[in-house]
Amino acid sequence: MPFHLPLLPASLRSGITVIDCGARHVAWGRFIRGARDRVLLQDWAIETFETEPTSETDWSGRAGRALATMGTREKRAENCRLALAGHNTLVKFARLTAPGRNSRQGAIEFEARQSIPLPLEQVVWDHFPVVENGSEIKFMLAAVKRDLAAEVAAAAETAGFRLCRMVPSGLTLLNAFRYNHPGEGDGVLVVEIGARSTHLVYLDRTGFFIRTLLLGGDQVTQAVAEELRIDFGAAEALKVAVLSGELPGNVEVIQHDAVRRACEQFAGRLHLEIVRSTVRFRCHSGAMQPSSVYLCGGGALIPDLPVRLADKLAVRVVRLDPLRNVGLTLSARPVCAALASRLAGLVGLGASLVGETCPGFNLLPPAMVKAQAMRRRQPALVGAAVLAAAAPLPALWAERQVARSAERASGELDQSLIPLRAQSTRNTRDLARIDEMRRRIEATRRIVESKAGWLAFFADLQTRLTQIEDVWLEKLQVAPSTEPAARGATAAVPAPARFVLMGRILERNGLDSAVNPTPFGRARRLLQTLRASPYVAAIENERFDGRALGVSRFELTLVMNPNRSF
């Protein structure tokens, strides 16, 4: 029986929250670690529900609602562990010749594909080596449908219980027995009878073996319902009433006998399955015949079941007390004997505080494992972010001080530069005045040079006309410009000046003969002379008229040299 202990000081307590999902119940427990590696049950609760014996969808929905109800009453927790009912999980054992380290995972995955009847993509599976030596590995495989695992995990999360581990209930039964009977484990069979499945756990000095039978208390209920032709719910209520001894006054002898016969049939089937499983286990492992059988679970409450099994198996058969070495704190709710048999799964999960059968084994969906790992890293990430954000603060503070000092120095420098800026303004104004005077001087110089240039040009023209002789001008005028002004952002380049010359020239040869052998000879000499002038760049539009006897008229345009000043 469990013993009561006061709460330990907080410095000695290390707690864990666990959830056991059975076929007809969801149990919740809070365990803490006491002195001398004792496990203390701090609090617990159980929610029962009815489901159809063959409906998996109905079970997951009702289990989710039970978790939600429990979450409204119990304290929510992080890092919870959950055990799945036996009818929802598949447990297999396999052997491998010890492969190399690099090929080990591939060989185990190959065995998993052979042993699990569904594609591995549709399940969550894990493995654990039970026996490992240099030549052989014996390992356990466990799998659950991915959708079902996700539904249960999501329901637990919604109820406020964040899961860190999900395991099959067979492992929790093994852990509960090893915790309560630490010195006994050679040739032992532990039988947990649930509503829809039965776990057989064999222990010997070489390891353990787990088998899940689709045989449970629902078979007794179904047999009663078929014999009495009543529905499943009424048969379940009748079975519980008969087995608990709380018979209502209207229960007839035929109903009592129907329950008794159903229990006898169940005991017979259970005996055959135990014998078949024992032979299989011994053939594969060479283990000895079990010398003791421990019963637990709701089905173990059948009054004479231990006696019947002991007679047929010829071994000692006793009921397992899951709370044998578990202490109850003063705040824990009392546990009656009928409920204690259903707490083996909770105790097995809570006993992981002091030791686990399969450390690291996990059937939690990979997405939730990643989310859990991210939640574990969040404090470190937040701390790193805080440190990263705070790291620049000293440098920023020092930079701020330097900036303030520089700002003060800049202000002082600005004050000292005020007279210099005023002087610079005056200098700029004076320089502008100097530039203006230079422009005026340059303009005056150009005017003077232009005047001198015109005088020189007219003197040169007079000299050249004198050299030709007998030439007189009738017209000298500035020709209008025929070139458009140059375009651009800067000042336009002025077009060269043009002068139109009109005059007459005496052709002496024309006076000597009626026919001039070299017409316009003196006019041509005039053109050559003008082209040789440094003030003329080109001659355009020259025209000559020799119709008058001995006199030639000429007209031409002088294009002035732009490199000369005019």
278: domain CATH number is 3.30.420.40
Specify whether 159 is located in the same domain as 196: no
Answer whether 530's CB lies under 8 Å from 464's CB.
yes
Specify whether 96 is located in the same domain as 120: yes
Show which of 261, 288, 321 is a domain's final residue: 321
> Considering the domain boundaries, does residue 361 fall inside one?
yes
Specify whether 108 is located in the same domain as 66: yes
Burial environment of residue 49 by CB neighbours within 10 A (0 to 12, 13 to 18, 19 or more): middle
Specify whether 369 is located in the same domain as 229: no
What is the chain's pLDDT, residue by residue, as a tens digit (566 residues)? 444 444 444 433 568 999 999 888 899 999 998 888 889 999 888 998 887 666 666 788 888 899 888 888 888 788 899 999 888 899 998 888 877 667 788 888 898 999 899 999 999 999 988 888 777 888 899 999 999 999 999 999 999 998 989 999 999 999 999 999 988 878 899 999 988 899 999 988 878 889 999 898 889 999 989 988 898 888 888 888 888 776 665 567 788 888 889 999 999 999 999 999 888 887 777 777 888 999 998 888 888 889 999 999 899 999 999 999 998 888 777 877 677 888 899 999 999 888 877 788 899 998 888 877 776 677 777 777 788 777 788 888 888 888 888 888 888 888 888 888 889 889 999 999 999 999 988 888 877 777 777 888 888 888 888 888 888 888 888 887 665 554 444 445 667 888 899 998 887 665 544 444 455 677 788 888 888 889 888 998 888 887 777 788 889 998 988 887 66
- Tokens representing residue 308 in the block: 């019947």
CATH number of domain containing 506: 3.30.1360.100
Answer whether 66's CB lies under 8 Å from 49's CB.
yes
Strand order in the sheet with 292-296: 207-213, 198-204, 188-193, 292-296, 316-319
Residue type, position 542, single letter: E
Show which of 373, 393, 413 is a domain's final residue: 393
Domain count along the chain? 3
Domain assignment of residue 525, given as a range:
453-484+493-566
> Considering the domain boundaries, does residue 291 fall inside one?
yes
Specify whether 296 is located in the same domain as 236: yes
- Judged by phi (left if over 0) then psi (alpha if -120 to 50, else beta), residue 80 lies in beta
> Considering the domain boundaries, does residue 548 fall inside one?
yes
Specify whether 468 is located in the same domain as 557: yes
Residue type, position 173, single letter: L
Specify whether 341 is located in the same domain as 227: no
> Considering the domain boundaries, does residue 276 fall inside one?
yes
Specify whether 19 is located in the same domain as 154: yes
Specify whether 458 is located in the same domain as 562: yes
Specify whether 249 is located in the same domain as 332: no
Specify whether 202 is located in the same domain as 275: yes
Specify whether 253 is located in the same domain as 360: no
